Structure 1
């Protein structure tokens, strides 16, 4: 057994201790040992730093880098990254026991990101992956509102609980806690989330994997929550897969007997909206990307979903929109490329025309050179992870494959135009901020890259 397989076995063993989840999304198996694989340089891509490109990212370069601060001698690792009003907000993963909270970096000088605050670390035994910040102006709250996902490391731990936290970050150097949307103790928590503001009212879209399964339908994997009063968040809608004609009423909250004859995993992994907050995208693993009309948040309507050929693993992980909301980017986190009955491939990106949201049309797929390298069996390094779109450029975080820039001027013909892949890197997320691209490196912290053209 080579070193790569030894590392993965350690990660999977850790998962079994974590919970009795019927299966898992790959994040849960990214423990300390697996992340260290990037530091060993065992991936050929990481032996030499790569920073190259053509077209609009021809002058892409790293201008800044900052590791997360240690607290009480503990070094946490990054999860996702978000930028707002000159600051970067970096979530944390589970390394060294989690509880890393969200870190705020001042980006006034992008070449020297400075960590100025830590918050959302007050619930024991949890980790804080995702943070979204937006300006809110309601009767109950006026200011910059941050929402933070909270997930339990061990659901048996007495003091831990999952859901999402709400903070006032109007003064980024001194965040103030406003409220907590708490889930049933049996549910790991909120994995990814999004914050949208419609006609002045803020709403959180929460992806809560396995909620349906663990609560026997009492709570659902997707919740739409009115947070006009952040101290008293109110759930106003939940999506139930049983409302779809292709899902039987006896669906047990996880295993789906799909029309192609396979039993597929179904859970909500991520969610987001278009710029207007009219359309919600729910990444529902093998049920595809669910498209909801939330133009009236109190009267949500199902519009359509993506689907898969019988030999394609679903694994709808995250989504992004392009071309004014008419094009859907769907990333698929496939980390086991040799499942019986499916194509041999790691996760790659699919691009859809969704002008008719009731009938998404597949325009193209985008694959890196990594996805067909299946000889080592199971690894996270080769699958795509998170997408972000800025103009006609799609940015993809790719774990040990770095950050990829893809020209989608013609969505039916995506073309890779840039790669950023420093030695030892292991990228969870990426975010476009002004003329900069941010990357959350699970090994090395926050990375700041400069583009040569802010309009692309």
Structure 2
């Protein structure tokens, strides 16, 4: 860290603890150590800036301080916990996780005054026994819908439970042109044998709106009837329909060594493979699918009805894969891959919690590893944990600054001006931090803390003596 007024120095944050609320497993693991997660989303303006920015990363995080910390409201006397966070046109959208029975829905906060976010709406909580982790909001213009569209992931808390016949997973679609009055448009429903859609991405190609959906183990649970990765046409949000689907056993290099969702890899490890998350680039030309120990799989989706496999990232023999989420930098030529490893002590694997890898993907058929970014948490075994407290979670990029949500580590800022030499330049860590998501908007940084709700970081105007809460 370089400056006393950089987003943080030790004196400006609350004490980091590992004894806060432990993140909850999001889906069943089939014998592996897997969790939940998120994706990256920017407006066209943001991504254009990302591609052309020449700023040194330190300039992008200077003088940020905590301006607000707001818990989500109780629903019917129940306190839910927060999941991912997204922002659109001056409003923050918080997903919710599974605490206290789930069904917390998506919370909408008016950020007109970032020092005083006001919760103005709740939506997408109408399907019983489900949770709504992920929400993406985009302005779309199709022959069937013009306005701001929200796509929400829906997952069952108990898959295919006969005692819960009305529970089902998939993608809910809402009109949020008026964020204070969301209106349901449609639902892309998955087979009840599938937990549901874990993460998703909403994008556009011309006048067509598309949802890219991650539904872990869909192929496994439905005996091949549905797929882990699906592209859904939501141009008419009242009538979403699947254009294409793919599951990992379709790769030529692995079918004979694939059993259920365990890959008997050439390095001798039995590696879990499933679709955890997906993002796309600014123009929806390529999809980046986080396939856990198969790496980040890249598809050409210029024709969304006929995508083509391009390439994927790989791992050392002693490295757990756990490709959890991705982000792009330098106009799509740099790939950030975060790996969520909760328990680093597997046989014949390195002793390390999950950390970040950075690739040159100018040639997308051959990703080249440039660097690996670790923090003080990565090798901290002074107080070993089997939860996700010390692993990286989600990445976001603005210009040459990488922002990482890091559970008990809060939000970590990294200068990637030289992607082969990433350098930590800041960190925001509230007391008892359990930071799930981070989102960089035009004038502020948003963080979602599972136990504490929405955090807003702004430039200057320090509040609470700069302390995390």
TM-score (norm 1): 0.89
Q: 1:26 is paired with a residue of what secondary structure?
A: coil
- How far off its partner does 1:25 sit? 2.0
Q: Tell me which residue corresponds to 1:41.
A: none
Matches within 5 A, 1:99-114: 99-114=103-118
Q: Tell me which residue corresponds to 1:199.
A: 206
- How far off its partner does 1:297 sit? 1.0
Q: Tell me which residue corresponds to 2:243.
A: 236
The whole-number CA distance in structure 1 between the counterparts of 2:316 and 2:223 is 29
The whole-number CA distance in structure 2 between the counterparts of 1:377 and 1:130 is 26
The answer to whether structure 1 residue 61 and structure 2 residue 69 are counterparts is no
Deviates more, 1:247-256 or 1:289-298: 247-256
Q: Which runs of 4+ in 1 moved over 6 A?
A: 3-8
Higher relative contact order (CA 8 A, sep 6+): 2
Match of 1:89 among 86, 93, 99: 93
Q: Tell me which residue corresponds to 1:318.
A: 325
Unaligned runs of 5+ in 1: 29-52
Give the RMSD, CA atoms, in angstroms.
Answer: 2.1
Q: 1:324 is paired with a residue of what secondary structure?
A: helix
The whole-number CA distance in structure 2 between the counterparts of 1:426 and 1:175 is 28
The answer to whether structure 1 residue 245 and structure 2 residue 252 are counterparts is yes
The whole-number CA distance in structure 1 between the counterparts of 2:259 and 2:207 is 38
Match of 2:355 among 348, 370, 373: 348
Match of 1:402 among 406, 410, 420: 410
The whole-number CA distance in structure 2 between the counterparts of 1:326 and 1:250 is 32
Matches within 5 A, 1:53-452: 55-155=59-159, 156=161, 157-249=164-256, 251-375=258-382, 376-451=384-459
Cα distance change of structure 1 residues 145 and 335 upon mapping to structure 2, 3 Å threshold? same
Q: Is the 8 A contact 2:21 2:451 kept in 1?
A: no
TM-score (norm 2): 0.86
Matches within 5 A, 1:4-83: 21-23=30-32, 25-27=34-36, 55-83=59-87
The whole-number CA distance in structure 2 between the counterparts of 1:402 and 1:236 is 38
Deviates more, 1:172-181 or 1:249-258: 249-258
Q: Is the 8 A contact 2:154 2:169 kept in 1?
A: yes
The whole-number CA distance in structure 2 between the counterparts of 1:204 and 1:145 is 11
Deviates more, 1:294-303 or 1:116-125: 294-303
Q: Is the 8 A contact 1:91 1:129 kept in 2?
A: yes
Unaligned runs of 5+ in 2: 1-16, 38-56, 461-469
